[in-house]
Structure 1
Amino acid sequence: MRTGDLALSLAVASIFSAVAIPARAVDSVSLEAGHGDSTRLVRAGVQWNWDQQWWKSNGTHIGGYWDLTLAQWRGSRYRDIGGRSQELAVLGITPVFRFQSDSRKGFYIEAGIGANLLSERYDNDGKRFSTRFQFGDHVGLGYVFANNLDLGLKIQHFSNAGIKKPNPGVDFAIIQLRYGFQ
């Protein structure tokens, strides 16, 4: 089995096992838009909050959630040719750690590293991925309003972590709007 096939198999298995973890209803839904490296991103997601809280102190803690997303990327320089576009679907699952108030309202910072599967290999603006499987890591900050509306900003990087060369990576700046049902 080739390294790329093994990575793809592991990604699919981890996505399905992660989806099986939350046995309860969805805690929130999100919409995101971003741009980077001549590529636009739109993404929808569902989230399941973790019940676990770590390092509780002064009304704050580290908690987190599972983030299951489906995205569309649209590159504007397919095969590095201006005016040619490439559209990809991207399925992702990410465990996200969030430093937040105990009420889950107000300011927060978060970080996560997840698994993503692209519908085809990315080839845009001189950057060509060698695998369809990519890790997606992000750092972000935001604010949760009293009505459970969450407005956030994040920087996200996609890369295969050196599974196969070339591994140029792609970076996005993303704005997120999320609504919590709790």
Structure 2
Amino acid sequence: MLRAGLAAALGLGAMSSQAAGPDWTLVGGASDESSVKQVGVIAGWTRPEPLWQGDTWRLRLRHEAVAIGWHVPRARDLIEVGYSPVFRLERPLSGGGGRSFFFEGAIGVRLLSHTRVSQEHRMSTAFQFADMLGLGMQWGREGQSTLGLRVQHLSNLGIKKPNPGINFLQLYYTHRF
């Protein structure tokens, strides 16, 4: 499962090199539910033209292919793979240099390698939706580096009961080559 997820992320990243060029993200996260920790990689690419351009803000669309491992104390670790279209509202900062501040949000899909998070917490389906809100800063030549903070919620949207869901706080760093 991990190999398939990483292959998918790398394949999507390779496809993106024909567009604006891929970026690679390292992500780490934590949940207060059963002390679950995350570490993973995201292959992403941003649409070159903004979806909307205002006087001081612009709206961009990013595509992210995700492969993340969960360390689950007292239970089997699991793998999360998926895709999210990310809408990012950016405000370039004065002084140039590719610096900008942004807010972002997404609703994506995820597949988990199994559903047990702890003895007390089991996701009822391996298929999950991932809702995310975040903020961050870009800098460097054409914004090649990004540091961000996200809050992510995974749940199956009531496809099957019970639907306990799980929340993560994620810190990430992205570099575009």
* Residues 82-136 of structure 1: CA deviation (Å, up to 9, x unaligned): xx13200111100000001368632111001111011111332622111100111
Q: Which residue of 1 aligns with 2:37?
A: 40
Is the Cα–Cα contact under 8 Å of residues 59 and 101 in structure 1 kept in the other structure?
Answer: yes
Q: Which residue of 2 aligns with 1:170?
A: 166
Q: Which residue of 2 aligns with 1:155?
A: 151
Supply the distance in 2 between the matched residues of 1:130 and 1:29 (Cα, whole angstroms): 31
TM-score using structure 2 length: 0.80
Q: Is residue 108 from structure 1 mapped to residue 91 from structure 2 by the alignment?
A: no
Structure 1 residue runs without a partner (length 5+): 1-14, 77-83
Q: Is residue 89 from structure 1 mapped to residue 79 from structure 2 by the alignment?
A: yes
Matches within 5 A, 1:54-93: 54-76=51-73, 84-93=74-83
Code of the residue aligned with 2:85 in structure 1: it is: P
Supply the distance in 2 between the matched residues of 1:67 and 1:100 (Cα, whole angstroms): 17
Supply the distance in 2 between the matched residues of 1:178 and 1:54 (Cα, whole angstroms): 21
Q: What is the aligned-residue RMSD (CA, Å)?
A: 2.5
Three-state SS of the structure 2 residue aligned to 1:130 is coil
Q: 2:22 aligns with which of 24, 27, 35?
A: 27
* Residues 112-169 of structure 1: CA deviation (Å, up to 9, x unaligned): 1111011111332622111100111110000011252111001000000000011100
Is the Cα–Cα contact under 8 Å of residues 61 and 100 in structure 1 kept in the other structure?
Answer: yes
Supply the distance in 2 between the matched residues of 1:178 and 1:23 (Cα, whole angstroms): 16
Code of the residue aligned with 2:42 in structure 1: it is: G
Supply the distance in 2 between the matched residues of 1:133 and 1:173 (Cα, whole angstroms): 20
Q: Which residue of 2 aligns with 1:4?
A: none
Code of the residue aligned with 1:88 in structure 2: it is: L
Q: Is residue 144 from structure 1 mapped to residue 138 from structure 2 by the alignment?
A: yes
Code of the residue aligned with 2:136 in structure 1: it is: G
TM-score using structure 1 length: 0.78
